[in-house]
Amino acid sequence: MITGRDELKQAYQDDQVAQRYVANRFETPLGSLLHRSQVRAVQDVIRANGIRQAIEIAPGPARVTVDVAGLLDGVTIVDSSLQMLGVAARRLEARGLRSKVRFVQGDAFNLPLLATSELVYSFRLIRHFERADRVRLYRSVHDVLAPGGRLIFDAVNEVVSAPLRARAAPGEYEHYDALLRPAEIEAELHDAGFALESLVGVQHRYPALQRCQILLGPRSPALARAVMAVIDRTGGEPLEWVVVCRRA
């Protein structure tokens, strides 16, 4: 399992990892459900608050920015991996969005000098660190947010994920993920100068979604997506949250 900051950074320097990232993780019916939920949450914050400028940290191949940049005047994406930034540039170019985006190689723990922004979003990053490093990341983001600006990221629900991981085969979970409860999220954000605004649940009733992926996904991805969407709307404990918080 990849647990350290340097190990995590190294894992995304490989060209093939960068090229395969979206296909491997977010093009299956289950992955696309997660992607759509995360994008919708970011779009909702942008629209509700009239946000025009944003920063994405650790964008990978611009998976989220490809679908939200059209709502913004400009986006700065910051990643430690030049390979990921190259893939991101090509994907944004293909969608006619490259001119809206500034590409910066940098470390999330020590962000380069950036103009303050109304919004920072980051997925598949903060969750991979222990609490002390998560708070360091929040504080790093705090420095590039305008007063009242918002941070959006993802967090894993301990109630759902812990039993799944207890039954998992060795090596099934490649990266460390912090398993949290709402009170813990709120407390650590408070320690870093943020006020929690909302937790948007994604992938509700995950065991049922997973069975649908296994049974229907290989035969009919479209049907699997439709069934998963219905299951997800029934609610219950989510596998993850999209966390929305405001710089206090």
- Whether 103 and 85 have beta carbons less than 8 Å apart is answered as yes
**CA atoms of 146 and 156, how far apart (whole Å):** 27
pLDDT of 143 higher than 70: yes
Give, as one character, the DSSP assignment of residue 169.
P
Cα three-residue angle 223-226-227, rounded to 5 degrees: 85
Q: For the segment 194-215, what is each residue's pLDDT rounded down to a tens digit?
A: 999 999 999 999 999 999 999 9
pLDDT of 61 higher than 60: yes
Tokens of 156: 């894993």
- Whether 104 and 144 have beta carbons less than 8 Å apart is answered as no
For the entire predicted model, the pTM comes to 0.89
Q: Which pLDDT score is estimated for 140? A: 95
The secondary structure of 88-140 as a DSSP string is HHHHHHHTT-GGGEEEEE-BTTBPPP---EEEEEE-SSGGGS-HHHHHHHHHH
**CA atoms of 17 and 15, how far apart (whole Å):** 5
pLDDT of 174 higher than 60: yes
pLDDT category at 17 given cuts 50, 70, 90 is low
Q: For the segment 105-131, what is each residue's pLDDT rounded down to a tens digit?
A: 999 998 887 888 999 999 999 999 999
Instruction: Summarize the confidence of residues 48-69 as an average pLDDT.
Output: 96
